[in-house]
Copies of this chain bind each other. A is one copy, B any other.
Amino acid sequence: MSKNAMIAQSGGPTAAINATLAGVIRGLRKSEEVGTIYGALHGITGVLDEKFLNLSESCDKDEEFLPALTNSPAMYLGSCRVKMPDPSAERGIYDRIFVTLQKFNVGYFFYIGGNDSMDTITKLAKEARRRNSDIRFIGVPKTIDNDLILTDHTPGYGSAAKYIASSMLEIAHDTYIYDLPCVTIVEIMGRDAGWLTAAAALARNSYNETPQLIYLPEVPFHRSQFLKDVKNVLNVSKNAVVAVSEGIRDEDGVYISAKAKAEDKFGHMQLSGVGKVLETLVKEQIGSKVRSIELSILQRCAGHAASGQDINESLEEGEAAAAYALQGKTGVMPAIRRTSDDPYTYEIVERDLADVANRARSLPREWVNEAGNDVTEDFLRYARPLIQGETELVWENGLPKYLPIGHLNHKIR
């Protein structure tokens, strides 16, 4: 007897998470065993509220649905930020989820997300075993932060890195034009890991040496050393460009950012403003022309500059996840194992979710230079393959043509 499938997305958006969704759908549709494929809106809350899209129908109605989905940024199914309670402490929410999944005859459940989403799916898989449920729970990784362990990198990172590197190159073209000493500080996402900020170094080429300085959360930040570093750059170049992670901290672990706000539900600090803090520091202590730029949410949702490699791998990981479920597996996720840097080769491998959830991977210290103000060639060798290739984006009436998300535009109160 055929079972239905359900897919949800959670956490922050990326340019590639919809490609992963498209991959899961593509994988599931290869099998006769799968009935209807549902999309739950706003992550696990869509399951609780029984808010579903019929994705099988969308595919049947329009053969352009999957290609358009593949190239649309952010999250077609919407997101949530729900921290699932421990099943032993609060059983009620799990009861509701399993009742709903049974009601809709769901045999395969997929959760696409980062660290916190892997925690959710791990708990659900564990709870299914306890309840002797045969529903298979599969995680599918995505995060621009690239901080999941046991995978070479995560879908979404390559596209964000490509956008960051392209923007840094364009900032270089912009900042070289004046014949004046100028410091430009570019603030890049990454609360605890420097992967995104490190990608700024990919903008360097035969004529562009910027960014000359890169500061990451992995290395304690010293204000006085930073000022020395900037002065040293200005001694040899009129144009100093600094890439800095939002999450840099001083020796005591205190965020440099002016606004270390309250912790969110997952215990993360919410940050903003380190660029402005450093801008003020340079203005007051060096006195040169200085400006700060925050790449902001554009770095995670720029579908128009997505990495072809990233989109393809996202599709493949989605398909692998579908295959795992159909093979009867549960509590696992697909990951990428790199087999060569150049030429870049890799294989999709299976990981146990319990080993991945709630752990984070920093940039290895040996990929940061000794002075703690740049990345090494090893990092560049790692990152370069991930930004290769462009997507087959369709433009319409002067703008990228993305899949409509009118179903997310609803009144909430």
Contact A169 B402 (CB under 8 A): yes
List A304-341 residues whose CB lies under 8 Å from chain B.
304-305, 307
Contact B413 A167 (CB under 8 A): no
Contact B301 A171 (CB under 8 A): yes
Q: How far is the CA of A75 from the CA of B179 in the complex (A)?
A: 12
The A interface, classified by DSSP as helix, strand, loop or mixed, is loop
Say if the beta carbon of A371 comes within 8 Å of chain B: no
Q: How far is the CA of A402 from the CA of B167 in the complex (A)?
A: 13
Task: Tell me the minimal C-beta distance from A258 to chain B in angstroms.
Answer: 11
Task: Tell me the minimal C-beta distance from A179 to chain B in angstroms.
Answer: 5
Q: Mark A74-111, 1 if CB is under 8 A from B, else 0.
A: 11001111000000000000000000000000000000
Interchain CB contact (< 8 A) of A170 among B73, B176, B239, B293: B73
Contact A398 B162 (CB under 8 A): yes
Say if the beta carbon of A45 comes within 8 Å of chain B: yes
Q: How far is the CA of A207 from the CA of B169 in the complex (A)?
A: 33
List A146-197 residues whose CB lies under 8 Å from chain B.
162, 165-167, 169-171, 173-181
Contact B207 A409 (CB under 8 A): yes
Residues of B within 8 A of A206 (CB): 404, 406
Contact A398 B202 (CB under 8 A): yes
Interchain CB contact (< 8 A) of A171 among B177, B207, B298: B298
Contact A298 B167 (CB under 8 A): yes
> Chain A, interface size: which category?
35 or more
Q: Which one of A81, A207, A399 has the highest number of Cβ atoms from chain B below 10 Å of its Cβ?
A: A399
Contact A165 B74 (CB under 8 A): no
Residues of B within 8 A of A72 (CB): 173
Contact A398 B296 (CB under 8 A): no
Q: Which residue of B lies closest to A389 (CB)?
A: B398
Q: How far is the CA of A188 from the CA of B171 in the complex (A)?
A: 17
Contact A176 B293 (CB under 8 A): no
Residues of B within 8 A of A293 (CB): 294, 296-298
Say if the beta carbon of A136 comes within 8 Å of chain B: no
Contact B178 A78 (CB under 8 A): yes
User: Contacts A294-B294, A304-B166 given: A177-B75 contact, CB under 8 Å?
Assistant: yes
9 contacts between A and B (CB under 8 A): A42-B179, A73-B170, A74-B177, A169-B399, A173-B402, A174-B297, A176-B405, A176-B409, A388-B398
Not counting A170-B303, A171-B297, A388-B397, a sample of 10 additional A-B residue pairs whose C-beta atoms are within 8 angstroms of each other reads A73-B174, A74-B170, A78-B178, A165-B398, A165-B399, A208-B409, A293-B298, A294-B294, A304-B305, A387-B399
